[in-house]
Amino acid sequence: MNYTVNLLRSQFVTHDVKHFIVSKPAGFSIVPGQGVELAINLPDLREQGRPFTPTGLAADRVLEFTIKGYADHADGVTRLLHQLEPGAELLMSEPFGTISYQGPGVFIAGGAGITPFLAILRDLARMGELDRQTLIFSSKAPRDVICEKELRHLLGDRCMLLCSSADAPGYDHRRVDRAFLEEKITDFDQRFYVCGPPAFMEAVNGALTDIGARSESLVFER
Ligand SMILES: Cc1cc2nc3c(=O)[nH]c(=O)nc-3n(C[C@H](O)[C@H](O)[C@H](O)COP(=O)(O)OP(=O)(O)OC[C@H]3O[C@@H](n4cnc5c(N)ncnc54)[C@H](O)[C@@H]3O)c2cc1C
């Protein structure tokens, strides 16, 4: 790991997702959408790096992470990250990854897969370039939707929220499948950014290519 950073503050965003504000090393720079490895700087944990995506703006003087904690992962790092107090030391790698903004398109996220898109959409908001972007964001239930108010505010009608296991007003109670995409999207000759659990990515990328999206127009972590 290349950097030692400090946890400055953590705060719940949903019942199992927290924002972590972390000190930013001098000279550290990142492209919105890229990830880093983080490990807790304690003897048994410093080799246990896990990938996470900074969600703040590149020019911010601190780093923000948005991390879902898995309380049921017995030896899980996210469970321990959620228990850290301000002042705790983390080890951080150089940025890596293949998700970056390549032009207007449709961002399709499942659960914590929203994090690279939070970084990218916030950056586009800063530049006033959100008008040609669409977000399709699938969560289990309304209480699981990460940064819901901010995303609805930024994208208005172009923020489509789906809940796979709850029927509630304001959310489509369905999955992101071929039928949903054909109903909501008219132009498949544009970019599609896809991020979520492996099964989600496989299903969405498969549906998109079946409908006619070009594989070179799909942006996802390879
Ligand atoms: C490029 C990239 C960027 C990412 N960015 C983010 C981000 O910004 N925010 C975010 O929240 N996530 C992000 N993720 C996902 C995140 O990396 C994982 O959620 C995290 O690594 C899980 O770590 P963990 O140690 O808690 O669990 P794991 O590494 O999955 O597991 C640790 C241990 O928990 C136990 N375990 C695992 N699964 C289960 C289970 N189902 N039931 C019981 N026990 C289990 C096992 O003993 C295992 O050894 C990203 C992933 C990638 C690839």
Which tens digit of pLDDT belongs to each residue from 45-77?
999 999 999 999 999 999 999 999 999 998 899
Nearest ligand 1 atom to alpha carbon 54: 8
- Specify the number of domains making up the chain: 2
What is the predicted pLDDT for the residue at 144? 98
CATH number, position 85: 2.40.30.10
Considering the entire predicted model, what is its pTM? 0.95
Average pLDDT over residues 87-114: 97
Q: How many C-beta atoms surround the C-beta of residue 221 within 10 A?
A: 17
CA separation for the pair 75, 37 (Å, rounded)? 17
Q: Is 67 in the pocket of ligand 1 (CB under 6 A)?
A: yes
Residues 119 and 199 in one domain: yes
Amino acid letter for position 27: G
Return the closest-CA partner of residue 23 out of 87, 83, 118.
87
Q: Is residue 100 in a domain?
A: no
Residues 87 and 125 in one domain: no
Which tens digit of pLDDT belongs to each residue from 35-53?
999 999 999 999 999 999 9
Average pLDDT over residues 81-95: 97
pLDDT more than 90, % of the chain: 96
Residue that finishes a domain, picked among 67, 92, 117: 92
Residue that finishes a domain, picked among 41, 68, 92: 92
Residues 19 and 62 in one domain: yes
Amino acid letter for position 119: A
Residues 111 and 85 in one domain: no
Q: Is residue 158 in a domain?
A: yes
Q: Is residue 44 in a domain?
A: yes
Q: Is 34 in the pocket of ligand 1 (CB under 6 A)?
A: no
Q: Is 197 in the pocket of ligand 1 (CB under 6 A)?
A: no
The three-state secondary structure class of 144 is helix
- The DSSP symbol for 4 reads E
Q: Is residue 64 in a domain?
A: yes
Residue 65: domain span: 3-92
Q: Is residue 97 in a domain?
A: no
CATH number, position 182: 3.40.50.80
Q: Is 70 in the pocket of ligand 1 (CB under 6 A)?
A: yes
Q: What is the mean pLDDT of the chain?
A: 96
**Residue spans of beta strands (DSSP E) within 24-74:** 36-40, 50-52, 62-68
Residue 1 confidence (pLDDT) above 90: no
Task: Write the Ramachandran bin of 147: left for phi over 0, alpha for psi from -120 to 50, otherwise beta.
Answer: left
Nearest CA to ligand 1 atom 41: 73
CA separation for the pair 2, 41 (Å, rounded)? 12
Q: Is residue 152 in a domain?
A: yes
Distances in Å between the Cα of 70 and the Cα atoms of 24, 81, 112, 149, 158 are: 25, 10, 11, 23, 30
Residues 184 and 110 in one domain: yes
Structure-block tokens of residue 91: 């080890």
Task: Write the Ramachandran bin of 33: left for phi over 0, alpha for psi from -120 to 50, otherwise beta.
Answer: left
Residue that finishes a domain, picked among 92, 122, 152: 92
CB 177 within 8 A of CB 205: no
Q: Is residue 187 in a domain?
A: yes
Which tens digit of pLDDT belongs to each residue from 127-167?
999 999 999 999 999 999 999 999 999 999 999 999 999 99
Residue 69 host element (H or E) = none
Residues 13 and 46 in one domain: yes
Rounded to the nearest angstrom, the distance between the alpha carbon of 195 and the centre of ligand 1 is: 15
Residues 215 and 127 in one domain: yes
Residue 98 binned pLDDT confidence (cut-offs 50, 70, 90): confident
Residues 171 and 88 in one domain: no
Residues 131 and 66 in one domain: no
Structure-block tokens of residue 177: 């499948």
Residues 80 and 38 in one domain: yes
Nearest ligand 1 atom to alpha carbon 67: 11
Residues 11 and 80 in one domain: yes
